[in-house]
A and B are shown apart, each in its own frame.
Chain A
Amino acid sequence: MEYILKNGIVYDPANEVNGEKMDICFKDGKIVEDVSADAEVLDVTDKIVMPAGVDPHAHVAGPKLVVGRLYRPEDERRGVAQKTKVTRAEAGFSIPSCPTTGYRYSRMGYGTVCEAAMPPLEAKHTHEEINTIPNIDINPLPLFGNNWFVMEYARENRIDDLAAFIAAMLRVSKGYGVKIVNPCGSEAWGWGMNVHGYDDKAPYFDVTSREVVRALAKANEQLGLPHSIHIHPNDLGHPGNVPTTIATLDSIKDIAKSTKASAGVRDQTIHCTHAQFHSYTGNSWKDAASGAEEVADFINKNPYVTCDVGQVTFDETTTMTADAPMEYDLFKISGLKWANKDIECETAAGIIPCIYSPKTPVSTLQWAIGLELFLHIENPWQVCLTTDHPNAGPFIRYPKIISWLMSAEKRMSMIDNGEVHKWASKRTGLAGLEREYDFYEIATISRAAPARIHGFQDRGALTPGYNADIAVYDINPNDFDPSKDPEGVEKAFSNAYYTIKDGQIVVKDGDIVSTKQSHTIWTNVIGYEEEEKQIIDSIMPFFTQYYSVKWENYQVHDHYVPNPTRVDVEAK
């Protein structure tokens, strides 16, 4: 099937196309230079055309999502919608059911989402959910930061073994890259403790976060994985955590990026996720203030770092993270129902409902810090649009965040009219920031940059040969001032005029018109087969003794990945 998107105004930052009127052709699921005269014409005259959105960090599938759904029926009831001829019934607000997740991303023009935390022991569960989410491709990142084997290799500085272990685990769990959450801290939570700062040791393991992160970064670059290490640093959400954040990012300055082709797309060697939660100064919530400028300044000066923001959206949401001790701290503050899930030898997770209200000082401070980061980081290729869904807010708020970024007037009116707490002006510099994003920059932070950061070579741009993942929004940028009409921006980006996934029209005029099975994107390391075998043989006695499942039943076999997109990495 051939199509031509006619007369759209195209924003394709990866190809440096900035608002040019042009046609985009695609055929059999791929973007092409040209199509024949028989191609079906989709008239998008004077509408915005972008590559489909890429979410670099969200929690959409996996065991902790299910705990959230199991114990928050009240959240599910907030999002019910009746089934239609095309879609199944919807449910859920901050933790929507799997089909709902796919539909809502599709309606916003998204095509790819990174599931940011997959415990290898329960990877089958994550994959079962991925298979239930339609219309968006998902690359899950297995958790490595508190894995007992990883901590041992890091302590003994056995980088070759660690590289082989990562290669094996990506294959075994069908994962995409290396995720690190509160390194050593979630292990300490096994004893009800946490680590404080970057140089604190995990109890009994005699290894610091610094050693774990550096070892994983070296192994990641040795393999030349498409994505860099993806880190949630220590001390999340604690006032005064800026030094920890900067120490973490600074510590891998000397580690060179891999020269392998598979790592050639990305520029960074470390991706710091939800930076907003890691940019607080002060000693307690009494004197907490924004550290956004300091963190942004560091990122501006160091091109080997990228980040996503984790923007607070003022909603009642559900926080969930593998940083379990932090969730218990939240429980101590809010007293809301607390869930926890420790996973043997690998990680932990905590879940708690959270209400971000514009009337409260802390929520407002977090909201302002997030926006400050967006506005202070000069290069849009180094910052991505996320809410760390569902932690700072549900992903359906991305259009609202876009409207805030595009309109200084809107931000100022929220501060001036008392819509948000006065801490926004007293404790942050947000009121003094007049920068406004344009559509080109929005296209960068929501699709081009996340795709480059994840090292995708088939999406995030409208390059011929790439997947025909395209979004069209009903705005004529030559006749529309986003600064003056934030509601118009929000409405347009919430309801894509077209969403095209692999050449299939899945959304038209904001409505789902068809669904398709999603792909699971995983990384297949080639060249380490012998090392992988040796490392698995070496861990087997430990595994048999201290895990509660058999190795045969631990692995994710092909049954759980019926529709894979395999990314081959020539690691040698």
Chain B
Amino acid sequence: MTYEPPVTDYDHIVENCTCAFCGCNCDDLDFLVKDGHVVAVRHACRLGASKVMEDMDQRLLVPMVRNEEGVLEEVDWDTALDTAAKYIAESVRPVFYGWSETSTECMKEGVELGEYIGAVLDNQATICHGPSLQAMQNAGYPIQTLGEVKNRADVIAYSGSNAMNSHPRHLARYAAFPRGYFRQRGRFDRTVITMDPKFSDTAKMSDKWIGFEQNGDYGFYNALRAVLKGKKLQSESVSGIPAEDIYELAAEMEAAEFGVLFFGLGLTHTLGKQRNIDIAIKLVQDLNTNSKWGLTPMRGHFNVNGFNIFMAYETGWAFGVDFCRGYGRYMMGETNTIDLLVRKEPDCFMVIAADPGAHFPNGANQHLANIPVIQIDIHWGPSTELADVVLPGSFISVECGGTSYRMDGVPIWMKKAIDKPETCRDDEWIVRELKERVMKLREEPNVADEYVPNEGLACLLDK
């Protein structure tokens, strides 16, 4: 890295802004504003700072609609919203996907529209931490807030997560380095363990690196659990790790006063998927017999956890909720975006604050090319090339306020610091407009004539 002199040419500072990048949601940023633009960001990591400062790079500024020649054409807001609303109103199997980089206030409009028209609402969890959610439904969910980690943790383990690259301030602000109430010497009072096949940047920072074989996650954790339960390992090594190292690690983990396991997509998306997380959760539960342990999924987007939380309290389920029958249905592999797309079910797709064009498997994107796609976003991306209507939104936490949920579930109000470009609109406004226009175009489908309570509400005693 080369030396960059500090920015001194600015009009004013906005303090305590929240970073809209990863699931750390650092809320201590200072934005240096000049001429209505953020010219420098204090306290943020490089990822967060560049996202905020480069906000005009490839920025979508005007609404667009794809014309008959297949070219995106700039139009006024009314035309764009009417076209999008028509696509939604005429569809029988709409999917509204994304939401992880917008506010819960915007989601609120989205779920109203989705329930009205009978859409599937889904977010990025379907392609990232979905297996983690599935695992917690199998095994449980012992977590803690990041401040608990800061104040108490003496052993910190990263598994399948390269936090130094993906969540750069995670170690600095919450986990390894900060001086906590019971860990006054900060890094010196903690042991950091990285479990990863790769000798990652996080492994370089750690006291211990467990480089088990690729796809060896399940076997490795299974062995660790066996050792914790007092069993003797039958082979000399498990998943490429010598047995004696496993004994040593188990003893070290059990001796922790307060341990935390952070896991990332390296654990959720290797062979075994949700079963890897199952066994990690069970390992943590076992460790609580003689020690105190918790775990936390390293959520990627700043509000991906927020959507799951929001959907859970609004509808009962976290993601992939299907309203096509007038009530919520949730079934992994059935009501999730990728499964629906590869089965070629959806006939309209709204993507908000996400980039399926860049992240979805080819088979799913092929279907997207054949159906109307509405994009609400602030930047150009591969999804723009798939979109039939483009609605330029605004940047939550910079140009517009809103609520987000950190990876550990702590809600944070992300305040507005500067004005949005004149031609853009807030995400919340756009989705509300769409909702109102769709409601005018089509009567609500799948409404029951009268309320019929679910038989499941019967009492055990009655059976």
Q: Contact mask A136-169 → B, CB, 8 Å, 1/0?
A: 0000000000001000000000000000000000
Contact A83 B309 (CB under 8 A): no
Assess whether B411 is interfacial by the CB under 8 Å rule.
yes
Assess whether A429 is interfacial by the CB under 8 Å rule.
no
Instruction: Give the docked Cα–Cα distance between A96 and B446 (Å).
Output: 21
Instruction: Give the docked Cα–Cα distance between A371 and B377 (Å).
Output: 57
Contact A315 B450 (CB under 8 A): no
Residues of chain B at interface, number, CB under 8 A: 77
Give chain A residues whose Cβ lies under 8 Å from the Cβ of B258.
190-191
Contact B413 A342 (CB under 8 A): no
Q: How far is the CB of B309 from chain A (nearest CB, A)?
A: 5
Contact B16 A552 (CB under 8 A): yes
Contact B312 A340 (CB under 8 A): no
Q: Mostly helix, strand, loop or mixed at chain A's interface?
A: mixed
Instruction: Give the docked Cα–Cα distance between A122 and B305 (Å).
Output: 14
Assess whether B139 is interfacial by the CB under 8 Å rule.
yes
Q: Contact mask B112-149 → A, CB, 8 Å, 1/0?
A: 00010000000000000000010011111111111110
Say which residue of B144, B329, B412 sits within 8 Å of A553 (CB atoms). B412
Q: Contact mask A389-405 → B, CB, 8 Å, 1/0?
A: 00000001100100000
Contact B447 A98 (CB under 8 A): no
Q: Which interface residue of B142, B325, B457 has the most chain A CB atoms within 10 A?
A: B457
Q: Which interface residue of A70, A91, A338, A339 has the most chain B CB atoms within 10 A?
A: A70
Say which residue of A61, A340, A397 sits within 8 Å of B142 (CB atoms). A340
Given contacts A70-B308, A73-B330, A345-B147, contact A337 B316 (CB under 8 A): no
CB neighbors of B among A43-92 (8 A): 61, 63, 65-67, 69-73, 76-85, 87-92
Query: Which of A454-462, A471-479, A543-551 is the interface stretch?
Result: A543-551
Q: How far is the CB of A537 from chain B (nearest CB, A)?
A: 17
Given contacts A190-B258, A316-B460, contact A69 B312 (CB under 8 A): yes
Contact A344 B409 (CB under 8 A): no
Assess whether A341 is interfacial by the CB under 8 Å rule.
yes
Give chain B residues whose Cβ lies under 8 Å from the Cβ of A99.
314
Q: How far is the CB of A545 from chain B (nearest CB, A)?
A: 7
Output the nearest chain B residue to A546 by Cβ-Cβ distance: B181
Say which residue of B313, B453, B460 sits within 8 Å of A97 (CB atoms). B313
Contact B412 A91 (CB under 8 A): no
Output the nearest chain B residue to A61 by Cβ-Cβ distance: B313
CB neighbors of B among A282-296 (8 A): none
Query: Which of B69-77, B201-209, B285-293, B358-366 is the interface stretch?
Result: B285-293
Q: Which interface residue of B16, B148, B152, B412 has the most chain A CB atoms within 10 A?
A: B148
Q: How far is the CB of B456 from chain A (nearest CB, A)?
A: 3
Query: Which of B57-65, B172-180, B234-242 is the interface stretch?
Result: B172-180
Contact B451 A87 (CB under 8 A): yes
Given contacts A81-B451, A84-B447, contact A559 B314 (CB under 8 A): no
Contact B456 A89 (CB under 8 A): no
Q: Contact mask B429-453 → A, CB, 8 Å, 1/0?
A: 0000000000000000011111111
Give chain A residues whose Cβ lies under 8 Å from the Cβ of B459.
313-315, 397, 400
Given contacts A78-B457, A82-B325, contact A340 B313 (CB under 8 A): no
Instruction: Give the docked Cα–Cα distance between A213 and B373 (Å).
Output: 59
Contact A90 B327 (CB under 8 A): yes
Given contacts A66-B309, A70-B318, A96-B316, contact A344 B145 (CB under 8 A): yes
Say which residue of A73, A77, A98, A548 sits within 8 Å of B314 (CB atoms). A98
Assess whether B27 is interfacial by the CB under 8 Å rule.
yes
Q: Contact mask A341-353 → B, CB, 8 Å, 1/0?
A: 1111100000110
Q: Contact mask B299-336 → A, CB, 8 Å, 1/0?
A: 00000000011101111111000010111111000000
Q: Contact mask B387-412 → A, CB, 8 Å, 1/0?
A: 00000000000000101010001111
Output the nearest chain A residue to B325 by Cβ-Cβ distance: A82
Given contacts A73-B330, A342-B148, contact A81 B452 (CB under 8 A): yes
Contact B141 A339 (CB under 8 A): yes
Given contacts A337-B138, A397-B459, A559-B413, contact A84 B450 (CB under 8 A): yes
Contact B140 A71 (CB under 8 A): yes
Give chain A residues whose Cβ lies under 8 Å from the Cβ of B456.
77-80, 93
Say which residue of B28, B150, B313 sits within 8 Å of A132 (CB atoms). B313
Contact A83 B327 (CB under 8 A): yes
Assess whether B461 is interfacial by the CB under 8 Å rule.
yes
Q: How far is the CB of B50 from chain A (nearest CB, A)?
A: 22
Instruction: Give the docked Cα–Cα distance between A386 and B460 (Å).
Output: 19
Given contacts A78-B454, A80-B328, contact A91 B291 (CB under 8 A): no
Q: Which interface residue of B28, B403, B461 has the most chain A CB atoms within 10 A?
A: B461
Instruction: Give the docked Cα–Cα distance between A192 and B328 (Å).
Output: 38
Give chain A residues whose Cβ lies under 8 Å from the Cβ of B310.
128
Q: How far is the CB of A541 from chain B (nearest CB, A)?
A: 12
Contact A76 B330 (CB under 8 A): yes
Instruction: Give the docked Cα–Cα distance between A55 and B451 (Å).
Output: 25
Contact A97 B318 (CB under 8 A): no
Instruction: Give the docked Cα–Cα distance between A357 and B460 (Å).
Output: 7
Assess whether B216 is interfacial by the CB under 8 Å rule.
no
Assess whether A328 is interfacial by the CB under 8 Å rule.
yes
Contact B151 A546 (CB under 8 A): yes
Give chain A residues whose Cβ lies under 8 Å from the Cβ of B328.
76, 80, 89, 91
Assess whether A484 is interfacial by the CB under 8 Å rule.
no
Given contacts A125-B411, A397-B459, contact A76 B317 (CB under 8 A): yes
Output the nearest chain B residue to A550 by Cβ-Cβ distance: B16
Instruction: Give the docked Cα–Cα distance between A91 and B405 (Å).
Output: 23
Assess whether B245 is interfacial by the CB under 8 Å rule.
no
Assess whether B188 is interfacial by the CB under 8 Å rule.
no
Given contacts A66-B312, A192-B292, contact A338 B412 (CB under 8 A): no
Q: How far is the CB of A494 from chain B (nearest CB, A)?
A: 10
Assess whether B182 is interfacial by the CB under 8 Å rule.
yes
Give chain A residues whose Cβ lies under 8 Å from the Cβ of B151.
344-345, 546
23 contacts between A and B (CB under 8 A): A66-B313, A67-B143, A72-B137, A79-B454, A80-B316, A80-B329, A81-B452, A83-B327, A84-B448, A98-B313, A125-B409, A128-B104, A190-B148, A337-B137, A339-B143, A342-B145, A343-B144, A344-B144, A344-B148, A345-B181, A400-B459, A550-B16, A550-B28
Interface residues of B (CB under 8 A from A): 15-16, 18, 27-28, 104, 115, 133, 136-148, 150-152, 173-174, 179-182, 257-258, 285, 288, 290-292, 294, 308-310, 312-318, 323, 325-330, 401, 403, 405, 409-413, 446-454, 456-457, 459-461
Interface residues of A (CB under 8 A from B): 61, 63, 65-67, 69-73, 76-85, 87-93, 96-100, 121-122, 124-125, 128-129, 132, 148, 189-192, 204, 313-316, 328, 331, 337-345, 351-352, 356-358, 396-397, 400, 419, 511-512, 545-550, 552-553, 557, 559
Closest 8 CB pairs of A and B: A344-B147, A91-B316, A78-B456, A192-B292, A548-B147, A76-B316, A342-B144, A337-B140
